[in-house]
Every structure is written in C-alpha cells, then in structure tokens.
Structure 1
Amino acid sequence: MPSDNILLSTVLALLVAAAPATSAVAESAEDTIRATLVQWTKDFNAGNADKVCALFSPELRYDFRGYPERDYDDVCTRLKRSLSDKSKRYEYGLDIREIIPAGDIAIVRLTWTLTVALPNGQTVSSVEPGMDIFRKSPDGQWKIIRYLAYEAPQRPISSGE
C-alpha cells in the first residue's frame, strides 16, 4: 500500500497549501473592501459628487428604518443632491466593526456618523449603525448590493459616564 500513502500525503500537502491561500484571499477581500469604504468616505467628505455612486451596484436595494425600501437611483440622487447643496456641509465618519468575506459576497457591520453643518452655524449629527452586503463584480470591484441601517437612538448621558 505504498501508493496509498503517497496519494494520502499528496492530498494532505495540497490541503495544507490551499488553506493559507484561502486565508490570503479573505484578507485581500477585507483589505480591498476596507480601502473602498475609506476612499468613498474621503470622496464624499471632499464633495466629489461624481464618485459617490461608485460604491453601489445598480442592483442596490436598501432599507433605512422608518422609510420605504429604496434603490440605486434613489441613493445616488439623494447623495448628489446633498453634495450639491452649498448651504450645508455634509461629512461622514466611518467605523468598520467587522468584515466577513465569503467567496464573492462579503458582509460588513459598520457605523456611519453623519454630521451636517447648517447655514446658521449649528451642526447636527446622526449615528447610523448598519450592515452592508457587498458582491464582487465581474470587473473585480466590490460593490454594495444591499444595506440595512437605522439611526441609533440618542441615549442620555448618566452621571456615571
């Protein structure tokens, strides 16, 4: 049975060699998605309206608590309209909680903090936890195909904090 041992050794060697490759692919997906979200945040905060839709797939569907389901056209129209309104200044802060890649799909748990500077000098902020689902497109780019978000309730600060 020496040939069985050789076959078994070969299969084990292939499995061991494949495991780091799978891990490397997952890390690569995480790194790419993280970089994509960071770049989108920079583009949005710089007012680059022509780039804000690049993060989203045309098949996008999203739910924000309290509002009807929306799609790609809705989000792009809203983002571009906000950035073209020169009477206000919009800025997003990004907090990525975790990225879970699984093949050509990845789930990102994150929190966006939107701060709006109003014409009267006042600023208003909202904290928006959510979950984005990315799919790797045929051109190799990761795009959001679904997201769920909600505005976190304002919690009072207790005397112990």
Structure 2
Amino acid sequence: MIRAAAVAVVGALLVAACSTSAPDRAGDRAAIEAALRQWPSAFNAKRIDDVCGLFADDVVLVYPDSPDRDHREFCDQMRALFADRSKSFTYAEPDIREVRVDGDLAVVRVMWTLTVRDAAGRVVETVVEDGVDVFSRQSDGSWKIHISHAFTKE
C-alpha cells in the first residue's frame, strides 16, 4: 500500500514536470549518479556537511516504522549516529537500478547496503535498503533529493 502510494506520487510529479529547453538527460543522469556514488564515502568518513548536502532543504525522508523526517531531523540523526562509539556504520557503493529524468525532476531506484559493527569490529547487522528517491534540480543546477522513500529488504 505504501509502495503504491509512493509510486503514484512519483508518477504525478514526473507528469507535472516540464522543461522549455532541450534536456541533457544523459548529463543529468551522470550528475545524479555521481552524487549518489560519492555519498557513501562522505558517510563512512562522517563528513556531516557532505552527508546532509545530498538532500534538499525541503526534503521529506520516509522510512518504515519511523516518523517522516525533514532536513534538520535527518542531519541531527546523522550527528547522533556518528557520535555513537558503541557501533560503527558503513555504507557500500549504491546499486543504482534506474534513473529517470524529466525536466527538473528525476526518479531513482537504488539499493543501499549498510553494515553495522560493534566496538570490537564484529558485524552485528547488515541491512539492505531498497529506495525510491525523487531528485529536484536546485537553483544552482545541482541535483538534490527532495523525497526519499526507503524500506528494508527482508
């Protein structure tokens, strides 16, 4: 049900998007993929500005069994996560399944793998997250996530 609603919202956003200039979809896809591929190294190095920088100021982040988060709440959560000395968190390079660009909006299907280790370095959990992200082109031409919907693969 949640997936169907997310797909309907994404579809409506894409239909509503239009561009008056000739689109550079290949360039836009490459920019979005580059932003996604750099994110794990920023996360793994705990570079909070770069971690938060992938997300638009008006982002809405949706994750099962959690309240929706905005930019500030997400960044606060990341700061707390990075400060936790009892565990370490590492993201692998994303598996980008699909990037669809239409004007100033893009939809991305992506799989993320997060490894959680205890203080001794033992793996305590590996989480595979399936996600759909809606990117929007910012006024400076960069692409940032406007809506992020992730759910675990179990």
Under a length normalisation based on structure 1, what TM-score does the superposition of the two structures give? 0.76
Report matched runs for 1:2-151 at 5 Å. 22=23, 25-93=24-92, 94-123=94-123, 124-151=125-152
Q: SS of the counterpart of 1:82?
A: helix
Q: Deviations over 1:81-121 (max 9, x none)?
A: 21222332211121110100111100000011111111143
Q: Which has the larger radius of gyration?
A: 1
1:49 deviation in Å? 2.1
> Could you tell me how far apart the structure 1 residues matched to 2:46 and 2:66 are?
25
Give yes or no for contact 1:63–1:149 (8 Å, CA) kept in 2: yes
Aligned Cα RMSD in Å? 1.3
Q: SS of the counterpart of 2:37?
A: helix
Q: Deviations over 1:117-149 (max 9, x none)?
A: 111432111000010000000011111010111
Which amino acid letter does the alignment assign opposite residue 122 of structure 2?
Q
> Could you tell me how far apart the structure 2 residues matched to 1:53 and 1:34 are?
16
Give yes or no for contact 2:131–2:150 (8 Å, CA) kept in 1: yes
Cα 1:108–1:62, aligned 2, differ >3 Å: closer, same or farther? same
Q: Which moved more, 1:45-54 or 1:106-115?
A: 45-54
Q: SS of the counterpart of 1:70?
A: coil
Which amino acid letter does the alignment assign opposite residue 127 of structure 1?
V
Name the residue aligned to 1:158.
none
Q: SS of the counterpart of 2:52?
A: coil
Structure 2 unaligned regions, length at least 5? 1-21
Q: Indicate the percent of aligned positions where both proteins have the same amino acid.
A: 37
Q: SS of the counterpart of 1:66?
A: coil
Structure 1 unaligned regions, length at least 5? 1-20, 154-161
Alignment length (residue pairs): 131
Which amino acid letter does the alignment assign opposite residue 116 of structure 2?
V
Which amino acid letter does the alignment assign opposite residue 62 of structure 1?
L
